[in-house]
Amino acid sequence: MDSIYNGVLGDCPYEVKVLEQHHLPNILALQEIVYDALPNKDTLQPLSDEEFLYILNGQGLLIGVFVADELIAFRAVLIPEIDAEHLGYAIGLVKESDLKRVLYQEISNVHPEFRGYGLQKILANVIMQQIDTKDFDYIAATVMPYNIASLKDKFSQGFNIVGLKYAYGGKLRYVFALDLRNQSKYADERVIISMGDVDAQKTLLQDGFVGVAMKPQADDWVVEYQKPF
């Protein structure tokens, strides 16, 4: 498979390729390395062999970063099944025809030895360039509160928080959405709430607010909410 992007990490040249089924052992091995290195295992929901194969068999896209033929990072997007947990419901979608136009931005892993180079952001840009966005209206994703790196990744791409719920067997997750059709405008009112105040955030979200930014405040992180119009 030809490379779709090339760059340099320090002194190490790398290339980005679309991953295929034969890369599955490498994908799983890297996921295990990343997971084992996490101080808080709840920040990552690992994918199973079957879930990776679902993507690799055409229900999405996986791209990977190679340094000297070693897979050191990957990122995925997924065409989800329509079920009761579909993230489109958090966006306010109801019809199956609308739910089918939601694409998930899925798992992103970077080898611990190659962090600090902005690979997550680079891969986000590269993978979006590979997607025919005319088939989709929204990109959706879930991120754990206080997973600062992943939250920054979503906000930097223009995602908004549209929901906050328990998923993956009771793990608290923000639901993010990016509207591919237009750029949202917001009312002037801004509400700043601690990332840890779950009930207050849920109330705002139910009232039509969305999370538009985050920042550190004292010893905490807070989310800025506004109402789109």
Q: Which amino acid is at 217?
A: Q
> CATH number of the domain at 5-183, please?
3.40.630.30
Averaged pLDDT score across all residues of the chain: 94
Residue with tokens 């600090």: 116
Residue with tokens 């000297």: 68
Of 1-5, 143-147, 175-179, 214-218, the one with minimum mean pLDDT is 1-5
Q: Which amino acid is at 35?
A: Y
Nearest one of 34, 133, 131, 132 to 74, comparing CA atoms: 34
- Cβ-based burial of 215 (10 A; exposed 0-12, middle 13-18, buried ≥19): exposed
Query: Residue 45's CB: how many other CB atoms inside 10 A?
Result: 17
Residue 27: which pLDDT band, with cuts at 50, 70 and 90? very high
Each residue's pLDDT tens digit, 44-72: 889 999 999 999 999 999 999 999 999 99
- What average pLDDT does the segment 198-216 reach? 97
Is the confidence at residue 1, as pLDDT, over 80? no
